[in-house]
């Protein structure tokens, strides 16, 4: 049997469809983590979990105690290993370590695992529905390909363990929770998992090319330079209800305050040192048509090409939010619900990926640099590795897809998974004599 046999491809598809069917959102990936850990242990990979890989206090939007308890029971009911869940200590994520005990580089790969809070399409033509692996967890859906990433990670583990005797150094396979807005990378970085890493690689099924078009099957993007720093806030304004005719002077209108804030946030001037994007994505306010609105709620994000631009946008946004509250004489609660830094792939790592991809027959369209078109918290890991003298890159793995990312009918060409495994293994082999 070759390293990249039809049977391995069948396993990858089986893994991916299983993770897709039992979709779990940020910080609730208990079944997924359990299954990943079980497979790694079966292969003979050292497994670390829980507080061994995750520093507490750096998580965003972590669920309540009751919700975590509920999700753990749901995961157990759906086949999760209870011993593995105990090892997690209520913190999802798995790191597999292949230590050859021979001097060589430390190489890390990131595979994100979380789904999204989206109800998956139930249309008969939807491929997962038609083939029996539509998410059974209503309201949760793998709409960004992370189920495929997790499957690829298990494939990489299997191949590397089959050739372990030929390898040097150490390989870390990081199965990360909570990429979608939960800051899952932050706790892993803070825990020190990446401190000894010389080379870091993260892959994503499908990215945006520099011409703005999606990356199709048989294409590859070898690096990204445009990760945006992303700051996310929830704002609650509390005013005072009053009748708009009987005593309008007694009211304090939170709806008008929120509207004023939204318009002014979208009018923040650009910065000369880089691209900036601001967006008020949610605005809810009021209680009835004949009541001056006593409440309003906004969800806001500020993105910047670099720290300077992001800081500028964040400061301007917060100044507006607070200034409007003072103007309308209402209370203002500001909740910081997430942030992700900007980052750039290293040219040397980009070159390594390009050279390896050209040796794999499946890849036929090569883009050294592409666009992520937004944010991925792999940037936290890239920066962490770079801080300690290592290098890293973020790879776009071309796959035809339907529905668009974060769409309820999202699905991708599963043939991308096997060559992705081959690519990552080839990177390890190419790096054997580097440090």
Local structure of 352: helix, strand or coil? helix
Query: What pLDDT, on the 0 to 100 scale, is given for residue 26?
Result: 97
Band of pLDDT at residue 210, cut at 50, 70 and 90: confident
* Residue 167 is assigned to a structural domain of this protein: yes
Whether 100 shows a pLDDT value over 90: the answer reads yes
Same-domain check for residues 351 and 412: yes
- pLDDT at residue 423 is higher than 70: yes
Assess whether 283 and 422 both reside in one domain.
Answer: no
Tell me, yes or no, whether 97 and 192 share the same domain. Answer: yes
Does this model's pTM top 0.85? My answer is yes
Note the pLDDT tens digit of each residue in 290-314: 999 999 999 999 999 999 999 999 9
Q: Among 323, 340, 357, where does a domain finish?
A: 340
**Domain check: are 361 and 263 in the same one?**
no
Contact 405, 331 (CB under 8 A): no
Confidence of residue 238 (pLDDT cuts 50, 70, 90): very high
pLDDT band at 235 (very low <50, low <70, confident <90, very high): very high
Please indicate, yes or no, whether residues 21 and 88 belong to a single structural domain of this protein. yes
CATH code, domain with 386: 3.40.630.10
- Same domain, yes or no, for 261 and 285? yes
Q: What is the pLDDT of residues 261-297, one digit of tens each?
A: 999 999 999 999 999 999 999 999 999 999 999 999 9
Residues 386 and 358 in one domain: yes
Q: How many domains does the chain contain in total?
A: 2
Q: Are residues 70 and 165 in the same domain?
A: yes
304 and 326 housed in the same domain: yes
| Cβ atoms 174, 188 nearer than 8 A | yes
pLDDT of 1 over the 80 cut: no
Quick one: 249 and 384 in the same domain? Answer: no
- What's 142's DSSP letter? -
> Are residues 166 and 182 located together in one domain of the fold?
yes
Mean pLDDT confidence for 162-175: 97
Residue 435 is assigned to a structural domain of this protein: no
Average confidence score pLDDT of the chain: 96
What one-character DSSP code corresponds to residue 370? B
The confidence score (pLDDT) of residue 355 equals 97
Which residue(s) pair with 97 in the sheet?
46, 172
Residue 286, domain extent = 229-340
Give a yes or no: residue 1 inside a domain. Answer: no
CB atoms within 10 A of CB 409: 20
The pLDDT confidence band at residue 212, using thresholds 50, 70 and 90, is confident
Query: Is 302 contained in some domain?
Result: yes
d(CA 299, CA 307): 21
């Amino acid at each position: 049997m070759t390293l990249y046999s039809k049977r391995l491809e069948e396993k990858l598809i089986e893994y991916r469809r299983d993770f897709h069917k039992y979709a779990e959102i940020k910080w609730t990936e208990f079944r997924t983590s359990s299954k990943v850990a079980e497979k790694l242990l079966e292969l003979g990979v050292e497994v670390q979990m829980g507080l061994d890989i995750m520093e507490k206090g750096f998580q965003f939007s972590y669920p309540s105690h009751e919700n975590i308890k509920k999700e753990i029971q749901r995961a157990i009911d759906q086949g999760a290993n209870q011993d593995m869940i105990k090892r997690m200590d209520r913190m999802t994520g798995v790191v597999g370590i292949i230590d050859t005990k021979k001097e060589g580089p430390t190489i890390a790969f990131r595979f994100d695992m979380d789904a999204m809070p989206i109800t998956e399409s139930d249309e008969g033509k939807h491929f997962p529905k038609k083939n029996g692996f539509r998410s059974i967890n209503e309201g949760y859906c793998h709409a960004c390909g992370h189920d495929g990433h997790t499957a690829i990670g298990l494939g990489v583990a299997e191949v590397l363990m089959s050739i372990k005797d030929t390898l040097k150094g150490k390989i870390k396979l990081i199965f990360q929770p909570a990429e979608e807005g939960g800051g899952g990378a932050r706790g892993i970085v803070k825990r020190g998992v990446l401190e000894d890493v010389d080379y870091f690689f993260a892959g994503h099924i499908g990215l945006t090319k520099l011409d703005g078009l999606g990356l199709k099957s048989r294409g590859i993007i070898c690096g990204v330079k445009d990760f945006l720093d992303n700051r996310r806030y929830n704002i609650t304004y509390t005013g005072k209800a009053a009748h708009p005719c009987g005593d309008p002077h007694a009211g304090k209108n939170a709806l008008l305050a929120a509207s004023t804030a939204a318009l002014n946030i979208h009018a923040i001037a650009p910065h000369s040192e880089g691209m900036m994007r601001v967006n008020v994505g949610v605005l809810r306010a009021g209680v009835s048509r004949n009541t001056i609105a006593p409440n309003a709620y906004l969800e806001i994000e500020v993105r910047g090409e670099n720290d300077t631009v992001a800081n500028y946008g964040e400061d301007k946004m917060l100044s507006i939010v607070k200034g409007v509250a003072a103007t309308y004489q209402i209370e203002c609660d500001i909740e910081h619900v997430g942030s992700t830094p900007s980052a750039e792939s290293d040219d040397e790592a980009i070159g390594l990926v390009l050279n390896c991809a050209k040796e794999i027959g499946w890849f036929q369209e090569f883009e050294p640099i592409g666009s992520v078109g937004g944010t991925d918290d792999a940037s936290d890991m890239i920066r962490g590795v770079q801080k300690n003298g290592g290098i890293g890159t973020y790879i776009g793995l071309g796959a035809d897809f339907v529905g668009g990312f974060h769409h309820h009918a999202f699905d991708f060409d599963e043939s991308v998974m096997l060559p992705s495994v081959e690519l990552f293994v080839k990177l390890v082999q190419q790096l054997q004599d580097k440090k």
